[in-house]
Chain A
Amino acid sequence: MKRQLILEDGSVFVGEAFGGNNYQLGEIVFNTGMSGYQEVISDLSYCAQIVMMTYPMIGNYGINRDDFESIDPAIFGLVVSEYCEYPNNWRSDESLDQFLKGNNIPGLAGIDTRKLTKLIRKEGTMKAIMADMDVDVDATVAMLKEAPYPTGQVAKVSTQKAFQVPNRGRRVVLIDYGAKQGIVRELSSRGCDLKIMPYTSSVQDVVNLKPDGIMLSNGPGDPRELTEAIANIRELIGQIPIFGICLGHQLIALAAGAKIDKLKFGHRGANQPVMNLLTGKVEITSQNHSFSVNEESLANTTLTVTHRNLNDRSVEGLACEEKNLFSVQYHPEAAPGPEDANYLFDKFMQVMDAQGGNK
Chain B
Amino acid sequence: MPKRTDIKKIMVIGSGPIVIGQAAEFDYAGTQACQALREEGYEVILINSNPATIMTDREVADKVYIEPLTLEFASKIIHKEKPDAILGTLGGQTGLNLVVELSNAGILEKEGVEILGTKLDAIEKAEDREKFKALMEELGQPIPDSLIVHTVDEALVFANEIGYPVVVRPAFTLGGTGGGFARDDEELKDIAKNGLKLSPVTQCLIEKSIAGFKEIEYEVMRDNNDNAIMVCSMENVDPVGIHTGDSIVVAPVQTLSDREHQMLRNASLDIIRALEICGGCNVQLALDPHSFNYYVIEVNPRVSRSSALASKATGYPIAKLAAKVAVGLTLDEILNPVTQTSFACFEPSIDYIVAKLPRFPFDKFPSADRRLGTQMKATGEVMSMGRNFEEALLKAIRSIEMKVDHIQIKEMDDMSEEELWKKAKWRDDERIYAVMELIRRGAEFKDIFALTMIDPFFLAKLKNIHKMEEELKYNVKDVETLRKVKRNGFSDSYIARVWNMHEDELYNLRKQENIIPVYKMVDTCAGEFESKTPYFYSTYLDENESIRSDSKKVIVLGSGPIRIGQGVEFDYATVHCVLALREAGYEAIVVNNNPETVSTDFSISDKLYFEPLTLEDVMHIVDLENPEGVIVQFGGQTAINLADGLQRRGVKILGTSVDNINKAEDRYEFEAMLRKLDIPQPQGETAITVDEALAIASRIGYPVLVRPSYVLGGRAMEIVHTDKDLKVYMTNAMKEISHDAPILVDKYIVGKEVETDAICDGENVYIPGIMEHIERAGVHSGDSISVYPTQTLSKDIKYKIIEYTTKIGKGFNFIGLFNIQFIVDKDDNLYVLEVNPRSSRTVPFLSKITNVPMANIATKAIMGQSLIKQGYLEGIKRESERVYVKAPVFSFAKLRSVDTTLGPEMKSTGESLGSDETLEKALYKAMVAAGTKIPLHGSVLMTIANENKEEALDIARRFEEIGYGIFATSGTCNYLKEHGIRVEEVAKVEQAENDVLDLIIKGKVDYVVNTMSQDKGSRDDGFLIRRFSAENGISCLTSLDTASAILKVIEAQSFSAIPMGEHE
Contacts and interface: CB of A to CB of B under 8 A. Distances in A.
A339 B387 contact: no
Contact of B257 (A30, A67, A84, A272): A67
A311 B457 contact: no
B225 interface: yes
Contacts of A90: 289-291
B263 to A, nearest CB: 9
A282 B261 CA distance: 20
A292 to B, nearest CB: 15
Interface string A39-76: 10000000000000011110011001011000000000
A56 B457 contact: no
A343 interface: no
Contacts of A55: 252, 349-351, 526
B345 A273 contact: yes
B390 to A, nearest CB: 10
B258 A114 contact: no
Nearest to A340: B269
Contacts of B351: 32, 54-56, 113-114, 117
Contact of B346 (A56, A86, A311, A334): A311
Contacts of B172: none
Contacts of B680: none
B528 A121 contact: yes
Contact of A117 (B341, B353, B528): B528
Contacts of B463: 86
Contacts of A337: 258, 262
Contacts of B541: 112, 114-115
A280 B346 contact: no
A192 B930 CA distance: 64
Contacts of B388: 56-57, 81-82
Contacts of B457: 60-61, 84, 86-89
A38 B257 CA distance: 9
A121 B938 CA distance: 71
Contact of A115 (B331, B342, B530, B542): B542
A61 B347 contact: no
B226 A281 contact: yes
B752 to A, nearest CB: 58
- Label chain A's interface by main secondary structure: loop
B332 interface: yes
A271 interface: yes
Contacts of B733: none
A314 to B, nearest CB: 13
Interface residues of B, number: 52
Contacts of B229: 273, 282, 284
A54 B529 CA distance: 13
For B230, B256, B332, B345, the residue with the greatest tally of chain A CB atoms inside 10 Å of its CB is: B345
A335 to B, nearest CB: 7
A39 to B, nearest CB: 6
B41 interface: no
B262 A334 contact: yes
Nearest to B387: A56
A162 interface: no
Contacts of A85: 460
Contact of A281 (B227, B290, B352): B227
A150 interface: no
Contact of A54 (B331, B347, B455, B527): B527
Given A35-B258, A60-B255, A88 B456 contact: yes
Given A82-B387, A118-B543, A61 B256 contact: yes
A213 interface: no
Contacts of A87: 457
B589 interface: no
B254 interface: yes
A121 B290 contact: no
Contacts of B526: 32, 54-55, 114, 117, 269
B499 interface: no
B529 A57 contact: no
A34 B261 CA distance: 10
B389 A118 contact: no
B387 A270 contact: no
Nearest to A85: B460
Interface string A271-313: 1110100001110100000000000000000000000001100
A2 interface: no
Interface string A96-120: 0000000000000000111101100
A115 B543 contact: yes
Pick the most buried of A32, A34, A39, A336: most chain B CB atoms within 10 A of its CB. A34
B347 A282 contact: no
Interface string A192-218: 000000000000000000000000000
Given A118-B543, A281-B226, A339 B266 contact: yes
B80 to A, nearest CB: 40
A57 B389 contact: yes
Interface string A113-132: 11101100100000000000
A337 B346 CA distance: 13
A64 B348 contact: no
Given A32-B528, A67-B258, A86-B456, A310 B345 contact: yes
Interface string B507-536: 000000000000010000111111000000
A91 interface: yes
A112 B519 CA distance: 12
Pick the most buried of B230, B266, B347: most chain A CB atoms within 10 A of its CB: B347
Contact of B261 (A30, A35, A82, A121): A35
B346 A88 contact: no
Contact of B527 (A61, A84, A86, A118): A118
B253 interface: yes
Contacts of B290: 90
Nearest to B336: A311
Contacts of B494: none
Contacts of A121: 527-530
B110 interface: no
B255 A338 contact: no
Contact of A311 (B225, B350, B529): B529
B359 interface: no
Contacts of B349: 32-34, 54-55, 269-271
B735 to A, nearest CB: 41
Interface string B324-351: 0000000110000000011101111111
A36 interface: yes
Interface string A330-348: 0000111111000000000
A176 to B, nearest CB: 23
Interface in B241-267: 252-259, 261-262, 265-266
Contacts of B254: 57, 60
B525 A32 contact: yes
A54 B523 CA distance: 13
A271 B342 CA distance: 12
A35 B254 CA distance: 8
A119 to B, nearest CB: 9
A60 B525 CA distance: 21
Contact of A275 (B252, B259, B332, B347): B332
B346 A273 contact: yes
B225 A280 contact: yes
Interface in A137-177: none
A338 B266 CA distance: 8
Given A56-B352, A89-B457, A282-B227, 4 more contacts: A35-B252, A36-B258, A121-B528, A281-B226
5 pairs of A and B residues whose beta carbons are closest in the complex: A36-B258, A86-B460, A336-B258, A115-B543, A54-B526
13 contacts: A35-B252, A38-B257, A56-B352, A56-B353, A57-B388, A61-B256, A271-B347, A273-B343, A280-B225, A282-B229, A284-B229, A334-B262, A335-B258
